[in-house]
Amino acid sequence: MDKAPKPTNPLQYYRVLSPAAGVRVSPICLGAMNFGEAWKQRMGECGKERSFEILDYFYEQGGNFIDTANVYQNGESEEWLGEWMESRGNRNEMVIATKFTTFHVPKSQNGKIRVNYQGNHIKNLKAVVDESLRRLKSSYIDILYVHYWDCSTSIPELMQGLNHLVSAGKVHYLGMSDCPAWVVVKANEYARQHGYPQFSVYQGRYSAAQRDVEREILPMCEDQGLSFCAYGALGSGNFKTKEQRERDAGQGRMSFTNTASEKVLKTVDVLERLAKEKGTKITSVAMAYVMKKSPYVYPLIGCRTVDQLKGSIEALTLRLTDEDIDEIESSVPFEPGFPFSMVYQFYNPQAPYHHAMTTGDIPLVKDGGYIDSVSVFDLAANSSPYIPTSAASDRPDPPITTDSAASPRERDTQNSAAAPASSTESGVESESLGTTASSRDNTTSDSRSLRTSNRRRRRRSSPDPSDNTAAEEGSSQGEQGISRVASGEYYSNPSYPREEGHPRSPKRRRLANMRPDGEVSTNSNGFPQTSNGLATSPLSKSSISNSLNGRSSSRNTSNGQPQANGSSKISSTGPSYFGHNREEVTRILIQGLYDLGYNDSANTLTRESGYELESPAVAAFRNAILDGQWTEAENILIRSFHRDGSSDAAGDSDGQAEDEPRLVLAENADKNEMLFCLRQQKFLELLEARDLGAALMVLRQELTPLNYNIPQLHALSSLLMCPAEHLHEQAGWDGPLGPSRERLLSELSKSISPSVMIPDHRLAMLLDYVKQNQINQCLYHNTATAPSLYSDHMCDRNDFPLRATIELSQHSNEVWYCEFSHDGTKLATASRDHSVIVYDTATFTVLHRFVEHDEPVAHVSWSPDDTKLIACSQDRKARVWNVETGRCLLTVNHHREPVTAAAWAADGESFVTASLDLNSSLCHWSMRGQALYMWPGAFRVQDCAITPDGRRLIAADVDKRVHVYNFSTHEEEYCLSLKSKPTSVTVSHDSKHMLVNLAEGQIQLIDIETTEVIRRFRGQKQGEFVIRSTFGGAAENFVVSGSEDSRIYIWHKENGTLVETLEGHLSGCVNAISWNPADPGMFASAGDDRILDTGTSK
């Protein structure tokens, strides 16, 4: 089955509408209120032709979510939308939302008695839906909104009427707009009790200047599983600069807020400042604001021109920081209103309000003493309106039954109030029903930086239990913003140039807390050392059976024999083994024997040495994971984050928590991350078993409250509608019968101290290190064959390509570039003589000579399948050639300056061109010549490369910078500032490193993830001309570069040693080098002497 094509713009990152509705929609909803002529005096003109242009562009860019209503433009909006869908034949591709309730008399009716042409009653409902279906030229409506609550129709009548429409297939999903939260809750509860469809989306006014929905509506949506469609997100026309307001004054266009108030203008000032800072528009910042606040928010965007729509689509890539959100919200204090004003502002009416209020924030409560509590709105986050009967042990944890005296949260609060102060001061988070809440200090809660509405949706880092300041500073110090990509992140971190030296980006690295040589462990993965007077290693105690850190033929193989009273045999040969810790060596050998399948030998070594591979806690955790005992695994994991004996895990309230097994965790262990991985596996297994109700409970009650990896959470929610036969492919998961549980355990083990849970296959890893070290020390290692363990390794210099065996002089001028095809059978060269030549590397005969360019050709690039070749020329054109036929497939003549380089996308169906053109420095093209995307930024690009994994685009400009972009989302991840102009950039085959050649005569090897300069290579002569260095050798062990002194320089990549300086060219500069990827004994060099040299080891 073919995989979905890669999105070409942010609008194509589709999302599941809501936790309660599986239909996929584009991330913004196009409002159709402007489409029509009936209201043009109030709203401005948007005729049919222009409306269709907007709809066409929205559709072509991948948009499928459109909103209208029966009353918009007196019905013309629906009519035009229906005509457009009929003419385009795309009705089933679109998700159309319309509304009923609002008064409107159809043209086909006399309207003499008009009293029933409005309201929520069944008569109006049926009439409006029939008329809307006629106008839309459709047999169904995707989403039908109740436009507003009429305060008269009963909920039973409304829900029965809506249920009839859904049952008849006329409506698919239900929405509510402009309605009190209690009505939606009551209606959904009625629907659940009667088996009717529930509301799955709410539409309301929401913007940075109007946040009323944060009091009741958004918390209700989260509790009920509704998404939120926000109209007025762009300020209803009021988010404009002063100049724009003066220019638009007097045009009389409809605005729900009329003239901008003083409060709105204060917000506009902040939006304008942020927009200038980020180089974007006010409306883009406003849209990014509402999308930041909650994971299921869809801005409803109205426009009258295609350019306005383009701006809204581009705004999807803008990401705001927590500090940006704080600045926007501090512009105008948010008025909480009653009852919040009474409860939280009892002593101080001016005290600021924030959404994540806790019991400790209530003045009348905190007067009585300290109470450890959770957010008041978290009370709603775990209520479940529906509990599948299939939910059982190791299925989704069902909500605890409440009694009249106290809710589960209240009982948690009462229990935590009696907890010792140290449990809070250590910064430990509470865990209840899968949610987290940071402890708050009552004495400082009033003065903290305040958080708003759904800011609790943003992930919070787990506090370090060893850092007492974490609790003092409050949870606000640990917040991180959401980074969103549907199936991979499309809201990337904005970044700015960093000075050379390149400080590392915040890539999380796990620290291995291994003991020094000779030091004996003093813990047993959470168990106190118990011995009967004997000084024994804690890991000498028996492990729970059926567990082993390695593979065996059976999961039930015992991991050693138990020892009485926790004692073990004491080795008489001393604690060290040739300077190594004897226990560590022995345990690694035991694991290695299990890996090799020698289980009896492993058990024998365990008995003889007295050392166990794992502690009982690790063994219990391993068995729980491999057997799918998710509740037990979670209990062990949660207890492990509460080293003081306190725990919120189920079953720990009986006072026995201190006797239960606990893991010793790595320094950087993240509780939410570990729980997310575990619950994700649980969710996927329930999906495969088609227990959709239980899977939905896991998604809503266990995964969502973690506020971790929101893009992955969206991807998981989309799997609810995935057929069972496609689940493995869509999820990238092989099921519980495959090695998925073993991989989960391996991933979780990274967060467990290696001193108690040895990383998988540790012996093999150490042997790999030995081999790699020998390779690194071997200057001439140029073979894919791994060295033997029996002897020290050293390659013969005579086997290295040191001689130029073939000189090709087909070009009549300087040769500027050369590149082997990926399969090594062809070699392409680019020359100042305006031509490109393709050679057969077996005979070095000319296969093709392309002479269509009018100026020198600077660069060529092979497609991943070697069937196509791009040539980039100073004639400002790029041509794509079919190498098999010699035919020109495409000519790109968009650039107004020389095209300097090109790079193919991983799928081979599109490519990027780089140019010195300030207006189009980087362009992404399809093979049909369509410009898929043009990166903004006024800079000239000298070279570019796409990482082999297709994730990133790297561009080197002439202004001493290297830009790194997310290729899928087009967002710039970071920009490196260099001390010299870069002349080339090359990416390693594993996509981990880039090689940047600098004009000052230096080559830098840079880690793409961390931006760290790993190594610098010097020696070649460079200054005036463009020289392109590259990786070389069988495993890219070498860095090779030309030079202005007519020589070729080869360094060892790992140790930086200059291996060889080769002669070969008669005079001039050696411009480029290419190493044959299929034959490590061959490389080619291109020089100013018109000669192409091929060096070989033969």
Active-site amino acid positions? 72
Our CA angle for 279, 285, 286, nearest 5°, is 155
Q: Which long-range contacts (CB under 8 A, 24 or more apart) does 392-396 make?
A: 393/631, 394/628, 394/629, 394/630, 394/631, 394/632, 394/682, 395/686, 395/691, 395/694, 395/697, 395/698, 396/682, 396/686, 396/694, 396/695, 396/697, 396/698, 396/701, 396/702
Dist CA 581 CA 589 (whole Å):
12
Q: Which long-range contacts (CB under 8 A, 24 or more apart) does 953-956 make?
A: 953/903, 953/912, 953/922, 954/985, 954/987, 954/994, 954/1008, 955/914, 955/921, 955/922, 955/985, 956/982, 956/983, 956/984, 956/985, 956/996
Question: What are the start-end ranges of the E strands in 271-377?
Answer: 297-302
Neighbours of 395 (CB within 10 A): 21
Our CA angle for 283, 289, 294, nearest 5°, is 140
Cα-flanking dihedrals φ and ψ of residue 530, to 5°? -125, 115
Alpha-carbon Rg for the chain in angstroms = 33
On whether the CB atoms of residues 32 and 68 are closer than 8 A, the answer is yes
On whether the CB atoms of residues 1095 and 1087 are closer than 8 A, the answer is no
Which uninterrupted H or E stretch holds 926? strand 922-926
Cα-flanking dihedrals φ and ψ of residue 176, to 5°? -130, 140
Nearest to 1085 by CA among 1027, 1022, 1034: 1027
Nearest to 186 by CA among 195, 198, 174: 198
On whether the CB atoms of residues 537 and 529 are closer than 8 A, the answer is no
Residue 598 CB partners (closer than 8 Å, separation 6+): none
User: If you write DSSP's letter for every residue of 697-723 in order, what string do you get?
Assistant: HIIIIIIGGG---HHHHHHHHHGGGS-
| Bridge partners, residue 872, by sequence | 859, 878
On whether the CB atoms of residues 828 and 819 are closer than 8 A, the answer is yes
On whether the CB atoms of residues 371 and 442 are closer than 8 A, the answer is yes
Dist CA 221 CA 227 (whole Å):
6
User: If you write DSSP's letter for every residue of 587-654 in order, what string do you get?
Assistant: HHHHHHHHHHT-HHHHHHHHHHH---SS-HHHHHHHHHHHTT-HHHHHHHHHHHT-TTS---STT-TT
Distances in whole angstroms, Cα of residue 496 to Cα of each of 935, 964, 987, 1024: 16, 11, 21, 28
Dist CA 58 CA 50 (whole Å):
12
| Bridge partners, residue 497, by sequence | 975
* Dihedral sign (CA 505, 506, 509, 511): positive
The bridge status of strand 171-177 relative to strand 846-850 is: unpaired
Distances in whole angstroms, Cα of residue 337 to Cα of each of 253, 260, 380, 448, 623: 31, 22, 20, 21, 52
